[in-house]
């Protein structure tokens, strides 16, 4: 049963759907452009790039929009790094992400999971103060190169 009013609201709904699709396409293009710029910059600047080999289990499509965008972006980021490293003759190393955010990069003590809102923490064993992301990055570097092997971490 159609009455003029529901038809009009249906037309408005269609319009809204169209502009939503347009907006989403634009946002997706902007993300892709950004990832292209970022990965080209990284691959040109560095000879070895180390990333976490995130489990596909954690990257499965889900219905939470922000999460599925983050997952899709990570997959795209990694794919771009893979083929651009090939193009430029650079090396991409993916390491097991296990415990990278739990272990103290200085003494190796595992103080367990920390909620994402904890950005800084102090090791309860050696009292080193850590920035969450930098500590994890150092752990990722250690996993790829247990002896150091002349690699230095660049935080930029």
* Interface positions with Zn ion (CB under 5 A): 104, 106-107, 109, 123, 125-126, 128
Q: Which long-range contacts (CB under 8 A, 24 or more apart) does 84-87 make?
A: 84/39, 84/40, 84/43, 85/43, 85/49, 87/43
Shortest Å distance, C-beta 142 to Zn ion:
13
- Quick check: 92 and 83 in contact, CB under 8 A? no
**Closer of 63 and 129 to Zn ion (Cβ):** 129
Shortest Å distance, C-beta 126 to Zn ion:
3
**Closer of 71 and 135 to Zn ion (Cβ):** 135
Instruction: Kindly state the tokens that stand for 77.
Output: 């980021």
Measure the CA–CA gap between 127 and 123, rounded to whole angstroms.
5
Shortest Å distance, C-beta 144 to Zn ion:
20
Q: What's the distance, CA 145 to chain centroid?
A: 21
Which residues are 121's β-sheet partners? Answer: 130
Shortest Å distance, C-beta 112 to Zn ion:
13
**Closer of 90 and 106 to Zn ion (Cβ):** 106
**Closer of 10 and 109 to Zn ion (Cβ):** 109
């Amino acid at each position: 049963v159609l009455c003029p009013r529901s038809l009009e609201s249906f037309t408005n709904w269609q319009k809204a759907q169209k502009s939503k699709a347009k907006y989403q396409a634009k946002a997706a293009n902007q993300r892709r452009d950004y990832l292209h710029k970022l990965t080209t910059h990284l691959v040109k600047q560095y000879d070895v790039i180390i990333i976490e080999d995130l489990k596909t289990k954690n990257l499965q499509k889900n219905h939470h929009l922000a999460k599925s965008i983050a997952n899709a972006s990570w997959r795209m980021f990694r794919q771009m790094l893979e083929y651009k490293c090939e193009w430029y003759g650079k090396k991409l190393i993916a390491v097991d992400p296990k415990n990278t955010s739990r272990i103290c990069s200085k003494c190796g003590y595992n103080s367990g999971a920390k909620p994402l809102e904890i950005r800084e923490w102090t090791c309860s064993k050696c009292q080193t103060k850590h920035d969450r992301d930098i500590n994890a990055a150092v752990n990722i570097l250690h996993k790829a190169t247990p002896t150091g092997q002349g690699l230095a971490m660049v935080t930029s």
